Chain A
Amino acid sequence: AQSVTQPDIHITVSEGASLELRCNYSYGATPYLFWYVQSPGQGLQLLLKYFSGDTLVQGIKGFEAEFKRSQSSFNLRKPSVHWSDAAEYFCASFSSGSARQLTFGSGTQLTVLP
């Protein structure tokens, strides 16, 4: 069965510092990969997605992610974090099957220090 792993439960960075959130997937074929952000008590907002093509994907709010097949990874990066980036981040991927249900990682809580 397909799975998505986010190794870091909680990450703390200072405002202005760079950020990298890790995501690993297990899937035989090329996966469809997503990063979402969730603020407390809110739904999920799509940051970016990868289906095919260029392995470096640009998203909203200055985020980018790189698909590395050799490492089964899709890490999210941002060169300079803002205090408003503090939130929960989820990596997700299509599961197999016609319904294409999303499989989510366990999430990474980002804290931004002033």
Chain B
Amino acid sequence: GAVVSQHPSRVICKSGTSVKIECRSLDFQATTMFWYRQFPKQSLMLMATSNEGSKATYEQGVEKDKFLINHASLTLSTLTVTSAHPEDSSFYICSARDSGGGYTFGSGTRLTVV
């Protein structure tokens, strides 16, 4: 079945630095990928829709300059958290729409900003 690989699974960074999270579709091409943020014991909040070869579409309230999304190929989308602050600490999950019409999710990245 479709597999989405997300790295790293955990990252700790200092306040003010940037962190890049990668999301790869391993056995299928994903023209569209999605980035979610999840707070403890809460549901997933869609941050942005990543489209291969074009600019990402951000949800209302999400700072596009802080959360940079690049979808340079059909199998890779990256989310860069720039100038990270403790309030950016969260669980970030990517997903891709697979050929079966469903959505395959990565295993998530736990970001801790200290």
| A interface residues (Cβ-Cβ under 8 A, vs B) | 32, 34, 36, 41-46, 49, 51, 90, 92, 99-102, 104-107, 109
Q: How many A-B residue pairs have CB under 8 A?
A: 49
Contacts of B34 in A (CB 8 A): 101-102
* Known contacts A90-B43, A102-B34, A104-B43; A34 and B103 CB within 8 A of each other: yes
**Could you tell me the distance between the alpha carbons of A65 and B103 in the complex, rounded to whole angstroms?**
18
* Known contacts A43-B6, A106-B42; A99 and B107 CB within 8 A of each other: no
Contacts of B44 in A (CB 8 A): 44, 90, 104
For this complex, 15 residue pairs linking A to B, each with C-beta atoms less than 8 Å apart, are A34-B102, A36-B105, A41-B91, A42-B107, A42-B108, A43-B4, A43-B107, A44-B44, A44-B105, A49-B101, A49-B102, A90-B43, A99-B49, A105-B43, A106-B43
Which of B6, B103, B110 is within 8 Å of A46, CB to CB? B103
**Could you tell me the distance between the alpha carbons of A90 and B91 in the complex, rounded to whole angstroms?**
16
On whether the beta carbons of A46 and B104 are closer than 8 Å, the reply is yes
